[in-house]
Structure 1
Amino acid sequence: MSDRPLTVVIVDDHSIFRSGLRSELDSGIEVLGEAGDVEEAIRVIGETRPQVVLLDVHLPGGTGGGGADVIAGSVSTAPATRFLALSVSDAAEDVVRVIRAGARGYITKSSSGAEVAEAARRVDDGDAVFSPRLAGFVLDAFGAVTGETAESVDELDRLSAREQEVMRLIARGYAYKEVATELFISVKTVETHVSSVLRKLQLSSRHELAAWALQRKLL
């Protein structure tokens, strides 16, 4: 192992979490920068080119893909950088999306500073690192288990994180106005997302969408 510190950038939309994580990382980790949204993250990563990015999955900005947008936007400016996802979410679709985007690992935010540092070092060494209860999602999605689970994940991958939120609410019977209130967006934006969801999933109505989601146990 090199005596030089491992260089990282912390990407999370909560400054308190960023500060707390920074303070818990050991002296062998050098934090080159921080970012709180997709655009800022891409800029900071391109400027600093860290060895590893500690990346939140859900971030404002970009196209709604969160951490996946950051990875896609950093490929050209920081091709050698590796990404370790940190999230409160252990939802299968979140895990699979960011791994398919190129992250080398995914651990939950309940991990200690020492665990994050160890995971970052392993990712830098080329290992794939996952919290134990997340490993099954990855195996299912990447071919260890075939069939409906993998197919459903493939279909979900067509939708942005926001489109998935809208899809679930509409499929549960929420009116457009109720979805807008729930997600703090305009009714017009809800209509736009629903149209996009129906187009991507090749469905013709919200009733078909409800049946699609129910069949795949997404509600």
Structure 2
Amino acid sequence: MTESIRVLLVDDQELIRVGFRLVLEAEPDMVVAGEAADGDEAIRRARELRPDVVLMDIRMPGLDGIAATEAIVSSMPGTRVLVLTTFDLDEYAFGAIRAGASGFLLKDAQRHEMTSAVRSVHRGDAALSPRITRRLLEHLGPRLPSVEDASDPTAALTERERDVFRTIARGLTNAEIAQELHLSESTVKTHVGRVLMKLEARDRIHAVILAHQYGMS
């Protein structure tokens, strides 16, 4: 039997946490490991529980979700953070992406969208639609450092890895990449891992940003 995905819910509104708990625990492969109402508590609970995925609210009293995300990702690289936001242009949510979050989840998301996003970040995909990916690059583009004088890490990629890199840059999941490139999902997973390793990318979102920097998006 496959182990359940352990989720930590972080939101200052108890009713939202209750609603999310009901949705997630109705899934056979998910369990809510714990809850937190602010950033400080989120960090403590994450260190205590070591969840697979953290559903992280951004705007909370005390320590906000951006700082909490950075602390959790830096100290627990195996834990993925999925940002909760009320709308897809929330600059605070983009800040959490820069801090290491693995994707967005709108608070008004449908049930299947929420469970799909949790599964996506747990398996290493980024929970970003192509539309959100474009918004992310538009938002981060002016702030990206110049790479004119830096060595190009994409030079180490094979031709197939470059193909995979370009699809990652478009926000595609492993399943979508497999369909587009006529590969098995296991082969895609292998290629994605090699791309991230060669680029020294923290995760797929970091890879999207690098693709933009190096003109491959």
Q: What corresponds to 1:33 in structure 2?
A: 34
Alignment of 1:106-117 (within 5 A): 106-117=104-115
State the 1:95 CA deviation: 3.1
Q: What corresponds to 2:21 in structure 1?
A: 22
SS in 2 for 1:89: coil
Q: Is the 8 A contact 1:21 1:113 kept in 2?
A: no
Q: What corresponds to 2:100 in structure 1?
A: 102
State the 1:51 CA deviation: 0.5
TM-score by length of 2: 0.60
- The one-letter code matched in structure 2 to 1:112 is Q
- The one-letter code matched in structure 1 to 2:66 is A
Q: Tell me the alpha carbon deviations over residues 33-71 of structure 1, each in whole angstroms, 9 at most, x when there is no partner.
A: 000111111110110000110111212112xxx211111
- The one-letter code matched in structure 2 to 1:18 is R
Q: What corresponds to 2:79 in structure 1?
A: 81
2 CA distance for matches of 1:77 and 1:24? 28
Structure (1 or 2) with the larger CA radius of gyration:
1
Q: Is the deviation greater in 104-113 or in 127-136?
A: 127-136
TM-score by length of 1: 0.60
Q: Is the deviation greater in 25-34 or in 85-94?
A: 85-94
Q: Is the 8 A contact 1:95 1:138 kept in 2?
A: no
State the 1:116 CA deviation: 1.1
1 CA distance for matches of 2:129 and 2:14? 24
State the 1:131 CA deviation: 4.7
Q: What corresponds to 2:173 in structure 1?
A: none
Q: What corresponds to 1:72 in structure 2?
A: 70
Query: What is the identity percentage for the equivalent residue pairs of Structure 1 and Structure 2?
Result: 38
CA-atom RMSD in angstroms: 2.1
1 CA distance for matches of 2:102 and 2:73? 14
Q: Is the 8 A contact 2:56 2:69 kept in 1?
A: no
Q: What corresponds to 1:12 in structure 2?
A: 11
2 CA distance for matches of 1:24 and 1:72? 26
2 CA distance for matches of 1:40 and 1:123? 22
Count of matched residue positions in the alignment of Structure 1 and Structure 2 = 143
Q: Tell me the alpha carbon deviations over residues 1-52 of structure 1, each in whole angstroms, 9 at most, x when there is no partner.
A: x721111100001000000111012131111000011111111011000011
